[in-house]
Amino acid sequence: MDLDTAIERAREGKFEKEDIERLLSPKNKEERSFILKKAKEIKEKHFSNEIFLYGFVYFSTYCKNNCRFCFFRRENKLAPRYRKDKKEIIKIAETLIREGVNLVDLTSGDDPYYNQNFGELLDIVNDISKLGCSVMVSPGVVDKEETNKLLDSGADWYALYQETHSPKLYKKLRINQSFQSRVKARENAAKTGMLVEDGILLGVGESKEDLANSIMTMARKNLAQVRCMLYVRHDGVPLRKKSLSADYPLITALLRITNPRKLVPASLDIDGLKGIEKLIEAGANVITSIVPPNFQLAGVAQHEYGIESGERSTNSVKSFLRKKGLKPASNQSLATYQQKMAENN
């Protein structure tokens, strides 16, 4: 199949599986570069040279689950465990907002403490939402009532990653967790009016068919942000890195092409600032996992990389953007985007 036709059909949402499989298999370097170039053009058409900045507050590293790919899985004795209190979480959020992030991403493991004390999480969300920036929450699977409470407390975004949309692979990755409950939790959140993010993990044993399936599923769902992340293996984590040598920039480009108007993040969590550039060139328009130093916070995929050195700070990211001729987006710009997406929900 002709590459131009596959890109055009993917961009217009009129794609079939063959189109995505064609884009996943460029025949040579030139074809791959062409796909990346098209993705960047689409990003520039809809978002110009603006990049949204997301601060990351991994406030609890406790988790009741045992996902095979995760450093913070319950059984990993090597993972550092902490649970920040409300005062410190607010202080971190204030620091990030003062430095200029557009959104605070409040993330934790699926921590039994917050399962039992959900009201405390709501209080934290409520206080941060009053500080003048958007709030994303990732509390794991929550029911309809909890979703409504999160929304009422001021959460704008709900992030819940499927990691793969193949039930068979999912079962091997997210041990003893329901595939369908995760799908339902995102659907419920979208119905309440929250903006929803889904994402996939690359390098965990996925086939090309699994990837095509995930890309198509995410493009057709009611999502406002779609991401892919690369699996980084650490001590104490059972999953060996496998697959297909995952082409992270190419998959990012395909997410952009199939989701022209959605946000597509590039995470500092994989390879710091040097990893970001390739993803922005492939059409990403959000930089996530900005973590301020001096708060002893962890990242997820790379729990230490670039945090205390300041590489993942807001100022380092802003200076990187300046050098690349890119512009940090304003809070108003994110608010406008959020309103537009919420109206389409």
Segment interacting with ligand SF4, rule: CB under 6 A, options 70-78, 196-204, 257-265, 289-297: 70-78
How far is 149 from 130, CA to CA, in rounded Å? Answer: 16
> Could you tell me the smallest distance in angstroms from the CB atom of residue 12 to ligand SF4?
34
Q: Does 157 bind ligand SF4 (CB under 6 A)?
A: no
Q: Does 67 bind ligand SF4 (CB under 6 A)?
A: yes
What type of residue is 176? N
Q: How far is CA 53 from CA 24, 49, 69, in A?
A: 28, 13, 26
70 is in an annotated binding site: yes
Binder to ligand SF4 among 63, 189, 229, 298 (CB under 6 A)? 63
Helices (H), 282-330: 314-323
Q: Does 70 bind ligand SF4 (CB under 6 A)?
A: yes
Q: Does 232 bind ligand SF4 (CB under 6 A)?
A: no
**Per-residue binding letters, 162-191, with ligand SF4 (x by CB under 6 A):** ------------------------------
288 is in an annotated binding site: yes
How far is 188 from 193, CA to CA, in rounded Å? Answer: 9
How far is 136 from 88, CA to CA, in rounded Å? Answer: 18
* CB nearer ligand SF4, residue 47 or residue 69: 69
Task: Read off the tokens for 302.
Answer: 């790379």
Binder to ligand SF4 among 50, 105, 110, 210 (CB under 6 A)? 110
* CB nearer ligand SF4, residue 81 or residue 324: 81
What SS3 string covers 139-159?
A: CCCCCHHHHHHHHHCCCCEEE
Binder to ligand SF4 among 49, 65, 192, 331 (CB under 6 A)? 65
Residues in the chain: 345
> Could you tell me the smallest distance in angstroms from the CB atom of residue 158 to ligand SF4?
15
Q: Does 109 bind ligand SF4 (CB under 6 A)?
A: yes
Q: Does 9 bind ligand SF4 (CB under 6 A)?
A: no
105 is in an annotated binding site: yes
Q: Does 148 bind ligand SF4 (CB under 6 A)?
A: no
95 is in an annotated binding site: no
DSSP one-letter code for 202: E
Segment interacting with ligand SF4, rule: CB under 6 A, options 49-57, 64-72, 147-155, 273-281: 64-72
Kindly compute the dihedral angle of the four CA atoms of residues 326, 330, 333, 339, in this order, to the nearest 10 degrees: 140
How far is 239 from 203, CA to CA, in rounded Å? Answer: 10
Residue carrying the six token digits 């030139």: 30
How far is 162 from 186, CA to CA, in rounded Å? Answer: 10
**Per-residue binding letters, 187-226, with ligand SF4 (x by CB under 6 A):** ----------------------------------------
Helices (H), the chain: 3-12, 17-23, 29-47, 86-99, 112-116, 118-129, 144-152, 167-173, 179-192, 208-220, 248-258, 268-281, 314-323, 331-344
Q: Which residues are annotated as a binding site for (3R)-3-methyl-D-ornithine?
A: 105, 138, 161, 227, 267, 288-289
For ligand SF4, the binding residues (CB under 6 A) are: 63, 65, 67, 70, 72-73, 109-110, 140
Q: Which residues are annotated as a binding site for S-adenosyl-L-methionine?
A: 69, 163, 174, 182
